[in-house]
Every structure is written in C-alpha cells, then in structure tokens.
Amino acid sequence: MRGFLIALTFFTRIPLPGPKDVTAEEFTRSYRFYPLVGLVIGLLLWLMAKLLIPFYPPLVLGALLLVGELMLTGGIHLDGFMDSMDGLLSARSPERILEIMKDSRVGAHASMALVGLLLLKFTLLASLTSPRVSLLLVVPMISRWVFQIGVIGFPYARAQGLGKGFHEATHWVPFLLTGGVVGGISFLLVGLAGIVAFALSVLFITLLASRISSLLGGLTGDLYGAMIELSEVICLLVAFPFLK
C-alpha cells in the first residue's frame, strides 16, 4: 500500500497526503504500482466522461477530457516527451541529442510535436461515444505498464539520472506477471479492443525503444515519459476499429 501511495502521489496531482521519509529504494521500487496508478486515472476519466456525455457535444467533451487528464497528471510525462522530441528531431549526433534533451528550454521541435500529440489525442477523445468510453479505463493502465519494456529491456544512456534508478530496480518476472494482469483486465473491460491495444502497444514500444537505443546507446528518463504519452495515443488509435 505504501508503494502504491508513493507512485500515486508522485505521478498524479490527486490531493492525497504523501508517505513521509520515502527512501530512494522505495521510490524506484514503486514502479510495480504504475499500472494501478494508470487504472485510477482511467477510472476518473471514465467517470468524468459518463457524467458529461449527456450535457456536452463531442468536441467540448474531448477538450474537457484532455484538460482533465492534464490536471490529474500535471503533464508530468509531457515534459519528457517534449525534451525527447527536441533532441530526436534535431538530426544531430547522439551526443548532441542527449545534450539537447537535457536542456530545459523548449525548442521548435518540441512545440510542434506537442501540438501534434495533443491534437491527435483530442480528436480521439472527442470521438469516444458513450459505448466507447470504457476504453478510457484501460489506456492509462496499459501505457504505464508497456513503457517499462524500455526501462527493463534496454540500457540507460546516462551515467546518472532519475530514470537510472528505475532501470536498475525493474525486473522481468514482476514485469511479466503484471503484464498478464494488465492484459486480462483490458480484455475483461473492453474485450477484443483491449487485447489489440495491449498487443500493438507492446510491439510499438519495443520497436521504438530498440530504434532509439541503437541510435543513442540507451534510453533516458525523458524517453520513458515520451513512451507513456505515445503509447496512450497508439492504444486509442488501434483500438477504435474493434470497439462496438
């Protein structure tokens, strides 16, 4: 329970009293609860959608859901996404890409990528009719599990950093066991669409992490955040044709 609260209070802005005297080991080991944090986020978004669908047209609903998600998470993973896009889209050497990603300033590539990501997510959320909003339950959960493929399966590109602790603490057995639970819940809640979203997000993140790791010699904490954001959009995209 303490590990779950550590993860929930760090990765969301839900007003809860956070655990005190959290050690570095406790913080990094809380990764096991990330999918559960995603399920909580998904449940809150699902409730929000169910409450608002009778009162608002699709475009307004899509905007409200997007803003609601940003308020729940504080946009914590978007920061990593933007830093990653600034570096990866710069077409520089691997060393220079890593330097750019570490720079806290926002560049043109990050701005363009952010607009594209949010626009795509907005249109997908706006397209969720009442029978389809159940997809909101599983997308944040899947994304917060699947990004761990990058954490556990590929080296860390920097000598130190917040993400390095996660990389060293993550292990295959609990990851795979959690994946079985995530896949099962996705199927129970959304049916075939949940399994498709789960499977194709695994494929996408594996290919993406492999490509970036071969370029940079590993991954970083910023890239972990980017993978969460991108996998959410992938889940929504690939699941739509299979939703009833």
How many distinct structural domains can be found in the chain? 1
Give the Cα separation of 30 and 172 in Å (integer). 15
Q: Is residue 104 part of a domain?
A: yes
Encode pLDDT of 48-70 as tens digits: 999 999 999 999 999 999 999 99
Q: Is residue 159 part of a domain?
A: yes
CA-nearest of 224, 62, 34, 38 to 140 is: 38
Encode pLDDT of 98-145 as tens digits: 999 988 888 899 999 999 999 999 999 999 988 889 999 999 999 999
Q: Is residue 23 part of a domain?
A: no
Q: Is residue 115 part of a domain?
A: yes
Which pLDDT value is given to residue 218?
A: 93
Q: What contacts 73, CB < 8 A, 6 or more positions away?
A: 11, 12, 13, 41
Overall pTM surpassing 0.85 (yes/no): yes
Average confidence score pLDDT of the chain? 92
Question: Which domain does 207 fall in, by range?
Answer: 41-236
Tokens of 88: 């990866």
Contact predicate 121/100, CB 8 Å = no
Give the Cα separation of 132 and 21 in Å (integer). 42
Which pLDDT value is given to residue 12?
A: 92
Q: Is residue 226 part of a domain?
A: yes
CA-nearest of 73, 75, 85 to 45 is: 73
Q: Is residue 153 part of a domain?
A: yes
Q: Is residue 223 part of a domain?
A: yes
Q: Is residue 31 part of a domain?
A: no
